[in-house]
Amino acid sequence: MIANKKEFFGGSLMLLAFIAVLIIIFSPVFKGQNGLEYLDALYNSISKGSAYYIPKVKEEAGKFAGKSIAVTLSMADEKQAEQTALLFKKGGASTTVTGASLQITGDSGKILENALTDTDNMYNNDGKEVSLKYGYNERRVLFNWWKAFNEMDKELKKQKQFKEAKIVALVVKKAIEPSYNYYQIEPQKISDRFGIVIFSLVFYVIYTLWYGFAIMYMFEGWGLRLEH
């Protein structure tokens, strides 16, 4: 039996309104996207504007110009090894493919420079330049760089070339991964979208409290009470 009908039905109306807004949020009414997709795209766009580390990484990579490396990388299969060999050849390295194994000898500075050129193009959404350079999909190019550099990091550490391994890991973390993740996203400054950002944060807090109070009023109206 309902102890307080006014409180119970008030909470019920709040819950129904919460559900109605939730339905709108999950409907494609925000430029063809639902609310979560729209905000996800917005925050990705804003974060891209502050995640451009490639120029600084290029400065660090430039210190390795003229330093040669010789590594053998284990790729997923022969096709990936052959595709990845093209990347290193463009950086002036000598390559030998044996099944899924890829042997590389070359100037680490030039290899890094070539990889960073590709990541820079991808970060600036110029994937066509990268695709034409190697003759296959630009996302695949970046994935192959990621796989090759992770393998190279391991091999250089085995050779106790820790400085070389460190810069390779830095390129992966600060250049390859952001360029892949942010590809085809247009960067925006938070100052340009300050209003919608503040609104979304305030709305999230109010909407969460709204649900909590709706449930509380319903249960209290029903006669349930928390007691010590």
What pLDDT is stored for residue 1 in this prediction?
62
47, exposed or middle or buried, with CB in 10 Å at 0-12, 13-18, 19+?
middle
State whether 167 and 212 are in the same domain.
Answer: no
State whether 171 and 194 are in the same domain.
Answer: no
Checking if the pLDDT of 218 tops 80, the result is yes
State whether 71 and 130 are in the same domain.
Answer: yes
Residue 55 included in any domain: no
State whether 70 and 160 are in the same domain.
Answer: yes
State whether 175 and 149 are in the same domain.
Answer: yes
What pLDDT is stored for residue 187 in this prediction?
84
State whether 69 and 44 are in the same domain.
Answer: no
SS3 content of the chain, % helix, strand, coil (to 5): 70, 10, 20
What pLDDT is stored for residue 36 in this prediction?
85
Q: Per this entry, what is the length of the chain?
A: 228
Checking if the pLDDT of 85 tops 70, the result is yes
Give 101-112 pLDDT, tens digit per residue: 999 999 999 999
Give 147-199 pLDDT, tens digit per residue: 999 999 999 999 999 999 999 999 999 999 999 999 999 888 777 778 888 99
**How many domains are contained in the chain?**
2
Give 23-62 pLDDT, tens digit per residue: 998 888 887 888 888 888 888 888 897 889 999 999 999 9
Q: Which domain holds residue 154?
A: 61-181
State whether 132 and 208 are in the same domain.
Answer: no
Q: Annotate 81-98 with b (16+ C-beta within 10 A) or e (fewer).
A: bebbbebbebbebebebe
